[in-house]
Amino acid sequence: MIKNHYYLIVGVLCVLFAVTHTLNGISTNLQILGGSAIDHSAKTAFTYVWHIIGIENLVFGAALLLMAFQMKPSRVKFVAWLIIMILALRWIVIAAFTLSSQAGHVMQILPDTIAILASIILLILGTKKKDTICNHLTQQ
């Protein structure tokens, strides 16, 4: 039985983000590297970093899906806060590098901003959810 719908929703979103990020890389960004004059080691580094982000999203999704079924949500609250911090820091890096580049502007980071902000808000709501056992005992 689902104990935390917020974690479930963000878990599904993270799995979706993993798939779309990887497919986008394979079909567009990583294809561009193949025909470029960039050094082979730089191409390799870019490719594995791209896939690390996809796998990271997949791991977040799997963890959150498991957390959604945890009988005592307070046991996994710390993990949710770690994921929140990682997502917030990820957004800071995305924003800083995008906006500091000469061609960077706010519209480039809008999709990432929406996805990360929505995920963070849902995770925070998930951390506010009380254990159902505790709620039931306090109501008696």
Q: Quick one: pLDDT at residue 138?
A: 47
Q: Quick one: pLDDT at residue 12?
A: 98
Q: Tell me how far apart the alpha carbons of residues 34 and 134 are, in angstroms, rounded to a whole number.
A: 56
Q: Quick one: pLDDT at residue 130?
A: 79
Tell me the pLDDT tens digit for each residue of 27-78. 988 888 877 888 889 889 999 999 999 999 999 999 999 999 998 888 899 9
Residue 128 token pair:
């506010």
H helix and E strand count, the chain: 6, 0
Q: Quick one: pLDDT at residue 79?
A: 97
pLDDT at 139 over 60: no
The one-character DSSP state at 30 is H
pLDDT averaged over every residue in the chain: 90
Q: Tell me how far apart the alpha carbons of residues 59 and 70 are, in angstroms, rounded to a whole number.
A: 17
Q: Is 36 helix (H, G, I), strand (E, B) or coil?
A: coil
Dihedral angle over CA of 8, 12, 13, 18, nearest 10: 140
Q: Quick one: pLDDT at residue 35?
A: 79
Tell me the pLDDT tens digit for each residue of 83-133. 999 999 999 999 999 999 878 788 989 999 999 999 999 999 999 987 765
